[in-house]
């Protein structure tokens, strides 16, 4: 085996849903840098087009598309427009930071609809096409450290991220015989539009930074390595797993450093 080509994505088509900004945008740029033709898809078509233009300006291959990933028909049309769907990355999420007793049913439905229903639609529509193609493929969903650890105000969001992880595991087991790999990435705290509420409050922001063993937040670009790994042959025997990119958040307690000799 030529190990120098383990991460080469030349000839692969990668759909990135959520490519307009944040982690999705960086994932699109990263996949293109390793040779993939990227379809940058997002609800915001204008910003998705800007991502595609950035890729092409850097010498990569890309196009853009508008999609609401909670809409089965839109997602199906998007995937059907791709000659061979080799890689799917799906990042969109929303959050309503409220304690469970203060969360309305309308707010619950809103978060569930985007985070959980959207993930279900994207992974199943992609999985069906990858399995039928006979060529396999890689599905990369975005879960979170909140699939394992939670705090007040994160109950519904955490439930969706745990649900996304378990659906990914189930789909990995079901589609393994078709050589379709399904994995999830769990970021820690990342500086994206979703976390603006925290960044605006210095004490909250610093508390999250201190929870990482690096004492800082991550940047969206720091998730790209995980995405490229899971998309490429470097992870050919990796499926049904959760890849944490959390700066040690879930490894270390972080509340107190004992006075050790």
Q: Which sequence positions are flagged as catalytic?
A: 157
Which of helix, strand or coil describes residue 144?
Answer: coil
Q: Which residue do the tokens 């959760």 mark?
A: 242
Burial class (CB in 10 A: 0-12, 13-18, 19+), 194: middle
Paired tokens of 212 = 């990482």
Instruction: Find the distance separating the first CA and the last CA of the chain, reported in whole Å.
Output: 48
Which CA distances in Å does 116 have to 60, 142, 154, 166, 255? 32, 11, 15, 11, 31
Residue 62 · residue 51 · CB < 8 Å: yes
């Amino acid at each position: 085996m030529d190990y120098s080509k383990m991460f080469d994505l030349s000839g692969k088509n990668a759909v990135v849903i959520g490519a307009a900004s944040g982690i999705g945008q960086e994932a699109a740029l990263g996949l293109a840098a390793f040779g993939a033709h990227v379809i940058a898809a997002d609800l915001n078509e204008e910003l998705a087009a800007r991502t595609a233009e950035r890729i092409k300006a850097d010498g990569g291959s890309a196009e853009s598309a508008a999609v609401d990933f909670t809409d089965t028909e839109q997602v199906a049309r998007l995937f059907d427009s791709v000659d061979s769907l080799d890689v799917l990355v799906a990042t969109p999420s929303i959050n309503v930071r409220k304690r469970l007793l203060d969360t309305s049913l309308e707010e619950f439905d809103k978060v569930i609809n985007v985070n959980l229903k959207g993930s279900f639609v994207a992974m199943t529509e992609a999985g069906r096409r990858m399995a039928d193609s006979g060529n396999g493929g890689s599905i990369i969903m975005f879960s979170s450290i909140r699939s394992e650890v939670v705090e007040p105000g994160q109950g519904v969001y955490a439930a969706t991220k745990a649900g996304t992880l378990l659906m990914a595991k189930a789909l990995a087991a079901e589609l393994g015989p078709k050589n379709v790999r399904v994995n999830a990435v769990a970021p820690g705290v990342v500086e994206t539009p979703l976390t603006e509420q925290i960044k605006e409050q210095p004490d909250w922001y610093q508390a999250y930074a201190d929870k990482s063993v690096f004492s800082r937040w991550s940047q969206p670009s720091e998730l790209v390595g995980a995405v490229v790994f899971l998309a490429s042959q470097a992870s050919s025997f990796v499926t049904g797993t959760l890849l944490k990119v959390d700066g040690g958040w879930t490894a270390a307690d972080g509340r107190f450093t004992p006075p050790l000799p």
